[in-house]
Structure 1
């Protein structure tokens, strides 16, 4: 009886050991999944990115041509003003005193002119009668001419004093909005060497512009009239649109980096954009609509041994075995497809359980999508990559993509190409 029990226990132990070994060392089933995509009609574009500052289209700095003390200020920041509106006023006491002084001098000069005129006429009559010499007549003429010139000189000085007096009233030269006020009542301004700026007035805040700095490596692709979009930190969810208005030829050099100032029009009907905001700009240098596109990964995909074990490759005999033979070399010479002088490009098409190598002619690319000119249609199924999954451990537990799959663009490339925003 003990012998049978020992045999039973031995069998049970062997069964448990076999179960553990089978559970631990069994081969995990894996599934290879191809990722495919159908060519689609869309839009592709090449772009140039830059940063800039938002500014009003027309800004006027209002100053003063005379020195003095600010007596009154009639406007403040953000105040709307009209052309000819009084903005500030200088103390006129000194300027009025100068005007009165020149008016007094003019009265004296005019009185002297009347006397010298009468004296000259008298000397002329006496000279004609032979009572005075010619030198006395010439002296009278000199005094008369000098008095006449003195009157003209003092009149000019008086006009200058009156003009300076009018400069004490500072008016707005345009319709607009006051952006800055640099003076306060009681402040002294000196206009001896340079004109001090008292106010800065923007003509129309509904029409703004972005002054962007475009790198010299990108400026060759930027042209007047190209479409541009930009964002500002104040409204991260809003995208503003504009047009390249001007590319200024004067370069700017900073840390050995050459940039060119590019002006982009920025309509501001809602007045969201404010002067001084920093804008991140994207200029569309090339843009094509309604074209056939495929993912850029499709042009880099190559089937490896794992794919060949499952799918028949075009050109291989239908032996019933997984895989098949390697595809034939791409045609060359007179049998090569037209490429317009470009390097031949191929994609892999999935047709049932086979993969077919298909030559295509490509156009514009933005590193994410590629324009297809000929070779495939929207009905074709293009292979972009593959993945190995384990159903028992969940999808992607041992997922692997093709090593030939292109990496997404990145780095510090300033001329990063990207497609247009979703419409």
Structure 2
């Protein structure tokens, strides 16, 4: 009998020790730490992303108006040229022969004109004296006029051929840099149907532009004068700056995706940017400098039931949120209700953050401005001195082990929950 009583007493003692240990370790392991931050001043912007190509501001395609064989090429890729500089020369032999032929024809026409003029003067004197008929006089006058017009015609032909001869010398129309050379010596070019391009010359490589393809969903926010930054793969650590100078109305449709070409100027004094480079562009559609900011995580935070065990969660006043005054005059009432949520019909310019004040969690109604998904602009409602909650850390502490992170809203039970029964 005594033995049974002793066994019962031992079992009860063990149960008491295990229960006490469970509650001690459970209390220590259920600590929930609030992650807070204070609003700070900084810059914020909303932006549109796009891709595009870098091109010179002004590029001239140099061609030829005459056909023939390229006899000389005086420049190559990347050559720096001046306006009026000789770039290439087309074989002139055929045109020189035509010039000689037409020059000879012109001399024949002038000789005939001289003869017909002398004959007309002679026939005119005879007609006045009554020595010839009127028909003979008019015939002589007509031959003189035809000879004169023939001289003018052949002279025009000679001028045309001489002009074509001058086109065999290809000169640079601008100061710039040769981007491409599409002909070589001995190559034949034919200008009968269209003008073949011989060279492509960029006017000024220190002034580049980016042709960005902006999606139709974003183009409504893009306006002339907005600032932009972009990077290129060749210089991943460099950020280049520019300004939107044009949004073209002509759409580009590819695979049912509609984009609009947006031109961004890009100063290139150090000549790092090369024509044809792919640019990753950010266009800042809204910018605010030196404004009060808070992390976007603070807007998304909502108190959880676990917090009610350690903190007093004050009730969210919907009357104040909607601009009304009901019940207790819009003041917050102390409450331990869990899962406090803002209404779904929130104006997108209004939000709620939760402020820590000692062991209390207090909702603060704020007005927000720009949101870049990292920070949010604070228009009114909180100050730099407020300690705003952005999240929670739940720690589990066992003897001989370090605290480890767990779910911010469902803290785990502590170890040592009791022995065997």
* Fold similarity call, TM over 0.5: yes
Deviation at 1:61, TM superposition (A): 0.5
Which residue of the partner structure matches residue 385 of structure 2? 379
Deviation at 1:390, TM superposition (A): 2.1
Give a deviation string over 1:303-322, Cα, whole Å, max 9, x none: 111111111223xxxxxxxx
CA deviations 1:173-223 (Å, max 9, x no partner) are 111000000000000000001010000000000000001111111111111
- What per-residue deviation string (whole Å, max 9, x for no partner) do you get for residues 271-294 of structure 1? 000000000110000001111111
Secondary structure at the counterpart of residue 84 of structure 2? coil
User: Where does residue 163 of structure 1 map in the other structure?
Assistant: 163
Deviation at 1:398, TM superposition (A): 4.2
- Aligned position for 2:406: 399
Contact 1:301 1:402 in 2 (8 A): no
SS in 2 for 1:335: coil
Q: 1:242 maps to which residue?
A: 242
User: 2: CA distance between counterparts of 1:159 and 1:100?
Assistant: 12
Residue 174 of structure 1 pairs with residue 181 of structure 2 = no
Checking the alignment, whether the CA contact within 8 Å between 2:349 and 2:367 is kept in structure 1 is no
Shift of 1:360: 1.4
What are the residue-to-residue correspondences of 1:90-129 with 2, within 5 Å?
90-129=90-129
> Aligned residue for 2:419?
none
The equivalent residue for 2:418 is none
Distance 2:164 2:317 in 1: 92
What is the deviation of 1:246?
0.7
Matched, 1:335 2:325: yes
Query: Under a length normalisation based on structure 1, what TM-score does the superposition of the two structures give?
Result: 0.83
**Offset of residue 327 of structure 1:** 5.1
Partner of residue 358, structure 2 = 352
1:380 alignment partner, SS class: coil
> Corresponding residue for 2:340?
none
Closer/same/farther in 2, CA of residues 223 and 402 from structure 1, 3 Å limit: farther
1:385–1:402: 8 Å Cα contact kept in structure 2? Answer: no
TM-score (norm 2): 0.84
Distance 1:197 1:228 in 2: 34
Inter-partner Cα distance in structure 1 for 2:44 and 2:316: 32
Which residue of structure 2 lines up, in the alignment, with residue 280 of structure 1?
Answer: 280
Say which is worse superposed, 301-310 or 64-73, in terms of deviation. Answer: 301-310
CA distance in 1, matches of 2:348, 2:109: 92
Q: Classify the secondary structure of the residue corresponding to 2:393.
A: strand
Cα distance in 2 for residues equivalent to 1:63 and 1:38: 66
Query: Once the 2 structures are TM-superposed, how far is the Cα of residue 401 of structure 1 from its aligned partner?
Result: 2.9
Matched ranges for 1:278-317 at <5 A: 278-314=278-314
- Does the residue aligned with 1:112 lie in a helix, a strand or coil? helix
Q: Deviations over 1:135-182 (max 9, x none)?
A: 001111111111000000000000001001101111101110000000
Aligned CA distance change for structure 1 residues 118 and 343 (closer, same or farther; 3 Å): closer
Separation in 2, partners of 1:76, 1:254: 36
Given that 1:56 and 1:209 are in contact with CA atoms closer than 8 Å, whether structure 2 keeps it comes out as: yes
Change (3 A) 1:127 1:329: closer
Deviation at 1:65, TM superposition (A): 0.6
**Are 1:206 and 1:267, in contact at CA under 8 Å, matched by a contact in 2?**
yes
* Aligned match of 1:184: 184
Distance 1:64 1:342, change over 3 A: closer
Q: Which runs of 5+ in 1 are unaligned?
A: 1-10, 315-325, 404-423
Distance in 2 of aligned mates of 1:212 and 1:171: 33
